[in-house]
A and B are shown apart, each in its own frame.
Chain A
Amino acid sequence: MTDAPLLDVENLWVKFRTRTGVFDAVRGISFTLGKERLGIVGESGSGKSMTGRAVLRLIRPPGFIEADRLNVHGEDILSLPEKGMRKLRGGRVSMIMQDPKFSLNPVMTVGQQLVEALRAHENVSRSQAHKRALEVLDEVAIRDPQRVIDLYPHEVSGGMGQRIMIAMMLLPNPEILIADEPTSALDVSVQLQVLDIIDKLVRDRGMGLMFISHDLNLVAKFCDRIVIMYAGRIVETCKASELRNAQHPYTLGLLNSVPDLERPRDHLEVLKRDPAWRDAPSVSARQ
Chain B
Amino acid sequence: MSAVMVKDLNVWFGVGADRSYAVRDVTFDVADGESFGLVGESGSGKSTILRAIAGLVPTWSGDMTVAGETLGPKRSKSFYSKVQMVFQDPYASLHPRQTVDRVLSEAMGLHGVQNINTRIGKLLDDVGLGAGFRFRYPHQLSGGQRQRVAIARSLACNPSILLLDEPTSALDVSVQAEILNLLVDLRREHKLTYIMVSHDLGVVGHLCERIGVMREGRFEEVLTVEDMRRSKAESPYTQHLLESSINSVR
Contacts and interface: CB of A to CB of B under 8 A. Distances in A.
B7 interface: no
B206 A217 contact: no
Interface stretch (A69-77, A78-86, A255-263): A255-263
Interface residues of B, number: 34
B41 interface: yes
A115 interface: no
Contact of B173 (A189, A190, A258): A258
Interface string B169-201: 000111111101100100000000000000111
A268 B181 CA distance: 6
A259 B250 contact: no
A61 interface: no
B176 to A, nearest CB: 7
Contacts of B173: 43, 214-216, 254, 257-258
B41 A192 contact: no
A270 B178 contact: yes
Given A188-B200, A188-B244, A271 B174 contact: yes
B248 interface: yes
B172 A259 contact: no
Interface string B219-250: 00000010011000000000011101111111
Nearest to B246: A261
B112 interface: no
Contacts of B176: 257, 259
B203 interface: yes
Nearest to A250: B174
Contact of B206 (A43, A157, A264, A269): A264
Contacts of B245: 188, 261
B42 A268 contact: no
B143 interface: yes
Contacts of B178: 270
Interface string A246-278: 000000011001111110111111110000000
Given A189-B241, A261-B245, A217 B250 contact: yes
A128 interface: no
Interface string A221-248: 1000000000000000000000000000
Given A188-B201, A270-B181, A254 B174 contact: yes
A189 B41 contact: yes
B248 A258 contact: no
Interface in B38-96: 41-43
A215 B43 CA distance: 24
B207 to A, nearest CB: 8
Nearest to B207: A259
Given A191-B248, A217-B249, A270-B177, A264 B205 contact: yes
Interface in B112-153: 143
Interface string A47-69: 00000000000000000000000
Nearest to A256: B177
A43 B244 contact: no
A14 B43 CA distance: 39
B202 interface: yes
Contact of A259 (B174, B199, B205): B205
B202 A44 contact: no
Given A218-B248, A259-B180, A259-B206, A188 B174 contact: no
Contact of B143 (A44, A190, A266, A269): A44
A158 interface: yes
A187 interface: yes
B172 A261 contact: no
B177 A188 contact: no
Contacts of B201: 188, 261
Contacts of A266: 184
Contact of B250 (A190, A221, A257, A271): A221
Contacts of B200: 188, 259
A256 B205 CA distance: 16
Interface of B: 41-43, 143, 172-178, 180-181, 184, 199-203, 205-206, 225, 228-229, 240-242, 244-250
22 contacts: A43-B173, A43-B174, A43-B175, A44-B143, A44-B172, A158-B42, A188-B241, A188-B245, A188-B248, A189-B240, A192-B247, A216-B173, A217-B250, A221-B250, A254-B174, A257-B174, A259-B180, A261-B245, A262-B246, A265-B206, A266-B184, A270-B177
Interface of A: 43-44, 157-158, 187-192, 214-218, 221, 253-254, 257-262, 264-271
Given A192-B244, A216-B173, 5 more contacts: A157-B42, A187-B42, A259-B176, A260-B249, A264-B229
Counting from the closest, the 8 A-B pairs by CB-CB distance are A257-B177, A259-B206, A268-B177, A259-B202, A187-B41, A271-B174, A43-B172, A261-B205
